[in-house]
Structures are given as structure tokens and as C-alpha cells.
Amino acid sequence: MHTRIAAYALIIRDDEILLSHWRRGTMHGWTLPGGGIEPGEDPADACVREVFEETGLHAALGRVLGVDSRILVREEPRPGEDAQLHTVRIVYAGSVTGGTLTPELDGSSDDAAWFPLAEVPELRKLSLVDAALAMAERDDRSPERA
């Protein structure tokens, strides 16, 4: 089983969320901007880099909202890949500091867009979106925030 550690940003402005459209073969869905951490790379630096690569936007990160750890069974593993993947996803609160919304070219994502939060339940999305929104809701209710 392979382990993949990645960092993502939950970026909400007003009543909109920034999402990136992930695609691999016939599988696809909207997810948080972010991605894999390179060997030796700080998770926060990886997150800022990935947000820029996928959206063209510069991000500032706040606190870690949580970590989503799960074992997935890949529907379409690449030749030689184990079907099981342990994915560890660090989720930061984030904000946009500049840039122009521009989809990634030749990467794992093919679009980026702002969506009204009210539309998120109807989107075809990866589980990370709902997990991150739940993390943010718990964070808002934490005693430290009161």
C-alpha cells in the first residue's frame, strides 16, 4: 500500500468556495485546491504552491483545520500501482492574496472556479470538500474561538 501525504486550502470568500476540478482517466470531481507534498517540502509551502499551480491564485494560509486520513481503493490504478492508497490530507484555512483565476494546464486538474456554498451539496465532488467544511464548522465552534 502506498501512502500519499498532501496539503489543501479551504478558501472561502463571502459565500463562495474556491474549488479545483480533478481528473484522472474517467474519474473526476471538484475538490479543494492543493496536492502532494514533494520530498523535503514543508506542507504549508506545498499547499501554497499547489493552490497557485491549480488556480493561478496566490494564497495565504491560516491555521490547520484538521487532517483527513483514509484508505482508498482506487477504481483505476495505473499499471503497477497497488489498488489501495493511504491518503493523509492536511487542510489549512486559506485566503487569496492576488493572482488571476487560471485553470492548470497539463496537470491533475483541468478547471478552477468559485462556487456559492449553497451549490456545493449538488456538485460532483471528492469527499475532501465535505470533510474540510466539517472541519471548519468544528473549528468555528471550538472553545478557543468563543
CB 52 within 8 A of CB 99: yes
pLDDT at 146: 38
pLDDT classification of 29: cutoffs 50, 70, 90: very high
Longest dimension (CA), the chain: 50
Domains and CATH numbers, the chain: 2-145 (3.90.79.10)
One-letter identity of residue 144: E
pLDDT tens readout for residues 61-117 = 999 999 999 998 877 777 888 888 899 999 999 999 999 999 988 888 999 999 999
At position 94, the amino acid (one-letter code) is G
pLDDT for position 144? 52
Whole-angstrom Cα distance, residue 146 to residue 138? 12
pTM equals 0.90
